[in-house]
Structure 1
Amino acid sequence: MLKRIYLSPTAYYFKDSFKLPSGELSYSDIYKDVNAFEMSIKTYLETDKPCLALNSGTSALHIALNLAGVTSGDYVLCQSHTFVASANTIRYQGAIPVFIDSEETTWNIDQQYLESAVKDLNSKNIYPKALIATSLYGMPFEVDAIDAFAKANNIKVIEDSAEALGSSYKNRKCGTLGDYGILSFNYNKIITSGGGGILVCKNEEEYSRGLKLATQAKEKSIHYQHQEIGYNYRIGHLNAKIGVAQMSVLEQNIKSRRQLNDWYRNLFENIEGVEVQFEKSMSYHSNHWLSAILVEPSQTAGITREDIRLVLEKDQIESRPLWKPMHLQPLYKDYPYYGAKVCETLFEKGLCLPSGSNMTDEDRERIENAIQRLFKI
């Protein structure tokens, strides 16, 4: 039976010196691991901003919205072409998501439609409080233009870099590019802590506020005193310890996935109508968490992204369509949307390909053979 080739398989790497604790632990032992994880991320990001370790990227998004002052009835801008957590956390706050189309190069939020949305909302005396901008599949969004527009309109930028650890824009690491930054260490990310997230805060005061919210909003008291709603969002110390260990292989994983993206570009180079996602200029450095293609059936003799997916699946090779836009989801179909059909086209014609950091030559050969059979090369 063929070994299945997964889209982004879970992989752990441990040095011989790595040991899990046993026996009774003190609180200082537990906090030591969590603090070490936060410091390892802060050091890697080369930032002075404090990093708050939480149990998921979704938790980090939710706390970021809290810190940005988003409350019930507020409006939050969000690109439509993203994972559902970006929108769900807005609703957690009772706020209203406003979905924005993508631009064709980075596949991320389009500044033109963003400006149109804000102008139209302002004409109705609606002033969005925050913007969630996602770096899809590791590709940074148009940071300078989006940030300048947001600042001019008093809109807080929450940078959703859940998929972009190790990516950068103009040599600045993703996670440090907005008012708040989000990273994810879910099981399928470029490194995993077995579950976890990081919120990059603006300053120590906001770090402390975020930490309080993430630990049930307990007041400083000998007994358990609560004056507001809090959450159980703090990362577990074993997850933090695993996360520290995985940081040692992050750069190698990025290198492997970037090399794999180059390999896919070579594979499809002479196949008309298939384009691999690429960096639009030297300003963009993607970790290529997932390599993805766009398929234009009018140029491929009618072959669609679904044809490619099914051929790969037949050989036990996982691939998956790009994110379905939020404004097309039943959950969010009645919320405002500004744009054309760029993100709809990305969904209809886009496919994510296997992108594991430890993909073997045999795995590549199987993928190549399946593609060549389909396109009769």
Structure 2
Amino acid sequence: MNERIFMSAPDVGELEEKYVLQALRSGWIAPLGPDVDRFEQEMAARIGRRCAVALSSGTAALHLALLAHGVGPGDVVLTSTMTFAATANAISYTGAEPFFVDCLPESGNMDPLLLKEALRSLAMAGERIGAIVPVDLLGKTVDYSGIADIAAEFGIPLIADAAESLGAFHKGQAAGSWGETAIFSFNGNKIMTTSGGGMLLTDDEEVASRVRYLATQARQPVVHYEHTEVGFNYRMSNLLAALGRAQLVRLDEMIMRRRDHRQFYKQLFDGVPGVSIFGGDTDSHDNFWLTSILVEPEAAGFTANELCTALTGQNIESRPLWKPMHLQPIYRQARKAENGTAERLFETGLTLPSGSSMSTKSRDLIGETIAMFLQNYEHARRF
């Protein structure tokens, strides 16, 4: 059996080893320390934000962003249905109700028209809307300029879940710079990683201060341990921040490698009936985190699941696009504004190995496996 080819394995090397070893030798082993401070400063400068707060995960960052904007029980928070469960879970942590909004077919990102219709309906019903949380899917930003206008019209905070889009842009403005607050994830499979970890970004120093306070168990600034409200153990460690600093240095290089994988898949599937690169026509401002294809079975003669099975047979990881949140058992009863697009993308989409650490040998094997699969289906179609 071939060695496992993952969709997006961590990409670390000598520079990461150097940064982490320096942090280790500095004695700053416990959470917080100079690398955390520098990581926050470097990330804020990269994105063009006044403040950045390094945290234990993207989920933690989103949870605290919601709390810092006053979201709580009785609130409704509108978010993308095409996302990982962490987005909806963070809303649920606050006691608020997630309301799922369907997506655009070309990107899988939140449909601004559906969002506006849902906001009007909720406002007319007199419901309290805590925030709008659009999610950047697979490295492509949502239509922030349009959604920001809608949020401003209704007077609702915009919190950008940019967990997947570090390094991407919308209208020349970096992902993470949109909204009152934004978050990134540095999970092991993301465009860059701190093993686990996340970052909250904002231009509001009061929000950043509130987040830092809540993330350190809401400890009061006195000599003894004094607490007046519930806090959380959500800060990033100094060692992981050192890893993040090295990854940030290499970020553009890693994006270029993923861009190259996107081009490889475009060429591989060029001219194949019923198969298209998801979002491939408008990917010039993406970070190319993951490349996915859409398979229309009637035209292609096969399904996304059948190709997935063939790849699995060669120990190559692939998976469908996100299962929409409104189809998840835990959120099946949640309210939603849907147009059927997310469900179609889930049924026809397949995400392929896209990591910047993927070797030429691994990519060749993927290409050979897919080419053989396509030849077999073409032969079956003829006879």
The normalised TM-score by structure 2 is: 0.94
1:95 partner amino acid: A
Q: Which residue number in structure 2 is paired with residue 25 of structure 1?
A: 27
5+ residue gaps, structure 2: 379-383
Aligned partners of 1:157 and 1:178 also within 8 Å? yes
Is 1:37–2:39 an aligned residue pair? yes
Q: How is 1:103-252 mapped onto 2 (pairs within 5 angstroms)?
A: 103-252=104-253
Q: Distance in 1 between matches of 2:24 and 2:116?
A: 55
Aligned partners of 1:14 and 1:245 also within 8 Å? no
**CA 375–244 in structure 1, closer or farther in 2 if over 3 Å, else same:** same
Q: How many angstroms does 1:109 deviate by?
A: 0.3
Q: Which residue number in structure 1 is paired with residue 10 of structure 2?
A: 10
Aligned partners of 1:132 and 1:158 also within 8 Å? yes
Kindly provide the CA deviation profile for residues 191-232 of structure 1, in whole angstroms up to 9, marking residues without a partner as x. 111111000023222211110010011111111111111100
Kindly provide the CA deviation profile for residues 24-43 of structure 1, in whole angstroms up to 9, marking residues without a partner as x. 83699952111011112112
Q: Distance in 1 between matches of 2:134 and 2:50?
A: 19
5+ residue gaps, structure 1: none
Q: Distance in 1 between matches of 2:149 and 2:246?
A: 37
Greater share of helix residues, 1 or 2? 2
Q: Which residue number in structure 1 is paired with residue 307 of structure 2?
A: 308
Q: How many angstroms does 1:21 deviate by?
A: 4.2
Q: How many angstroms does 1:23 deviate by?
A: 6.7
Q: Which residue number in structure 2 is paired with residue 356 of structure 1?
A: 355
Q: Distance in 2 between matches of 1:356 and 1:261?
A: 11
Aligned partners of 1:75 and 1:97 also within 8 Å? yes
Aligned partners of 1:186 and 1:192 also within 8 Å? yes
2:242 partner amino acid: K
Q: Distance in 2 between matches of 1:343 and 1:293?
A: 14
Q: Distance in 2 between matches of 1:21 and 1:137?
A: 32
Q: How many angstroms does 1:361 deviate by?
A: 2.3
Q: How many angstroms does 1:22 deviate by?
A: 4.8
Please give the secondary structure, in 1, of the residue aligned with 2:261. Answer: helix
Q: Distance in 1 between matches of 2:43 and 2:49?
A: 11
Q: Distance in 2 between matches of 1:279 and 1:52?
A: 33
Aligned partners of 1:325 and 1:347 also within 8 Å? yes
Q: How is 1:361-376 mapped onto 2 (pairs within 5 angstroms)?
A: 361-376=360-375
Identity of aligned residues (%): 37
1:330 partner amino acid: P
Kindly provide the CA deviation profile for residues 71-119 of structure 1, in whole angstroms up to 9, marking residues without a partner as x. 1110000110100011001110100010000111111000111111111
Kindly provide the CA deviation profile for residues 264-306 of structure 1, in whole angstroms up to 9, marking residues without a partner as x. 1111111011111235558x611110001111001112x0000
**CA 22–156 in structure 1, closer or farther in 2 if over 3 Å, else same:** closer
Aligned partners of 2:84 and 2:322 also within 8 Å? yes
Q: Distance in 1 between matches of 2:183 and 2:172?
A: 18
2:152 partner amino acid: K
Please give the secondary structure, in 1, of the residue aligned with 2:158. Answer: strand
Q: How many angstroms does 1:52 deviate by?
A: 0.4
Please give the secondary structure, in 1, of the residue aligned with 2:138. Answer: helix
Is 1:328–2:330 an aligned residue pair? no
Q: Distance in 2 between matches of 1:89 and 1:70?
A: 11
Q: Which residue number in structure 2 is paired with residue 59 of structure 1?
A: 60
Kindly provide the CA deviation profile for residues 297-350 of structure 1, in whole angstroms up to 9, marking residues without a partner as x. 01112x000001000111111101111000000000111011121000011111
**CA 200–115 in structure 1, closer or farther in 2 if over 3 Å, else same:** same
Q: How many angstroms does 1:154 deviate by?
A: 1.0
Aligned partners of 1:13 and 1:246 also within 8 Å? no
Q: Which residue number in structure 1 is paired with residue 381 of structure 2?
A: none
CA RMSD of aligned residues (A): 1.8
Q: How many angstroms does 1:49 deviate by?
A: 2.1
Q: Which residue number in structure 2 is paired with residue 342 of structure 1?
A: 341
Q: How many angstroms does 1:70 deviate by?
A: 0.3
Q: Distance in 1 between matches of 2:29 and 2:291?
A: 42
Q: Which residue number in structure 1 is paired with residue 267 of structure 2?
A: 266
